[in-house]
């Protein structure tokens, strides 16, 4: 309770005291016991009550979230400046104060029956550039511009919500939706459409003394026919994606099999190359051995005889008689003779 409220309470109470005092004087007079100085007391109390009522009528307390428009009998009908927060003085009984909230307010137009300002489906029905009907569920967050309170009162008074904010928002939404195709509305350019609505609505509200804080595009609903077609399209896209995935999987399996076959072929080539290189090395070694053996035979012919003896069967026992024409004699025949 602020000071102005207390003063108004005391002013009302003072008149009750005046009326009570008058009643008391009348009662005592009828009983033959008149109250001394009754008239002076009544007049004094009436003057005090009148002063308090005048003061209560002239003092106005404005809350921080409010601005006061003073309706006056003077020229123009209203004061050019709004009352600021705190205690203000106006001419008692000659001026009246209309309070306007400057705090933020929200107006919701919803498809849900219990969420909007108007019961039932209050969404905005609009038509896209390609002729499809959509229902837009949106909220407008706004406030009265403190510097434009006087103009708002002159133009709209207390009708600015239903007379300005609601019809202007619905019209701007319809105009914006008409500039986009159905697919752009719900997916590709939804953000662009929201920004267009916000920009246009902000400009047109500002022209009427209202500040747009934010525009919220809550939901977009489609006709049953289009919703069914969208569902069928999504199913077809999912099937196409599944088919593409299957093709990709088969391609990867074929690529994997090709790589395995390539690896096996490369292994065969590497193995054959290794065997060929081993044979070449072996042949080179044999050739070098033969060259060394040929050189040894050229220097010492007996080496060939030694090679011959070494190649005989291990079961044959022989004696080499060193002469220029060596003879190989069976050892068994020599040892067994008498």
Select the more confidently predicted residue: 280 or 322: 280
Q: How far is CA 7 from the centre of its chain?
A: 53
> Of 68, 141, 145, which is closest to residue 102 (Cα–Cα)?
145
Q: What is the pLDDT of residues 129-141, one digit of tens each?
A: 988 889 999 999 9
Evaluate whether 182 touches 229 at the Cβ level (below 8 Å): no
41 CB neighbour count, 10 Å cutoff: 16
Contacts of 3 (CB under 8 A, 6+ apart): 59, 61, 87
Mean local confidence (pLDDT), 164-176: 95
Tokens of 23: 């009643």
Q: What is the pLDDT of residues 243-300, one digit of tens each?
A: 777 778 888 887 888 888 888 877 777 888 888 888 888 878 777 777 777 777 777 7
Q: Categorize the per-residue pLDDT at 169 as very low, low, confident or very high, splitting at 50, 70 and 90.
A: very high
**Per-residue pLDDT for 241 more than 80?**
no
pLDDT for residue 271: 81
Q: Categorize the per-residue pLDDT at 325 as very low, low, confident or very high, splitting at 50, 70 and 90.
A: low
């Amino acid at each position: 309770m602020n000071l102005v409220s207390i003063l108004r309470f005391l002013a009302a109470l003072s008149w009750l005291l005046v009326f009570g005092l008058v009643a008391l004087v009348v009662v005592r007079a009828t009983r033959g016991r008149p109250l001394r100085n009754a008239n002076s007391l009544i007049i004094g109390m009436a003057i005090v009550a009148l002063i308090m009522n005048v003061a209560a009528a002239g003092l106005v307390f404005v809350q921080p979230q409010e601005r006061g428009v003073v309706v006056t009998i003077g020229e123009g009908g209203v004061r050019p400046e709004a009352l600021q927060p705190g205690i203000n003085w106006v001419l008692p009984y000659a001026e009246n104060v209309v309070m306007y909230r400057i705090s933020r307010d929200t107006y919701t137009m919803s498809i849900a029956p219990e969420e909007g300002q108007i019961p039932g489906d209050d969404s905005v029905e609009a038509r896209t550039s390609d002729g499809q009907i959509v229902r837009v569920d949106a909220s407008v967050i706004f406030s009265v511009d403190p510097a434009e309170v006087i103009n708002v009162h002159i133009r709209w008074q207390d009708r600015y919500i239903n007379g300005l904010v609601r019809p202007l928002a619905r019209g701007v939404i319809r105009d914006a939706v008409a500039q986009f195709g159905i697919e752009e509305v719900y997916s590709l350019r939804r953000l662009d459409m929201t920004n267009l609505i916000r920009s246009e609505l902000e400009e047109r509200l500002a022209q009427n003394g209202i500040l747009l804080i934010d525009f919220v595009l809550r939901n977009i609903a489609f006709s049953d026919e289009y919703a069914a077609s969208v569902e069928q399209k999504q199913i077809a896209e999912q099937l196409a994606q599944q088919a593409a995935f299957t093709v990709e999987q088969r391609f990867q399996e074929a690529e994997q099999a090709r790589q395995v076959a390539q690896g096996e072929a490369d292994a065969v080539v590497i193995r054959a190359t290794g065997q060929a290189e081993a044979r070449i090395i072996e042949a080179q070694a044999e050739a070098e051995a033969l060259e060394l053996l040929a050189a040894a035979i050229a220097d010492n012919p007996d080496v060939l005889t030694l090679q011959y003896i070494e190649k005989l069967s291990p079961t044959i026992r022989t004696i080499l008689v060193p002469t220029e024409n060596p003879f190989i004699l069976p050892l068994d025949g020599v040892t067994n003779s008498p």
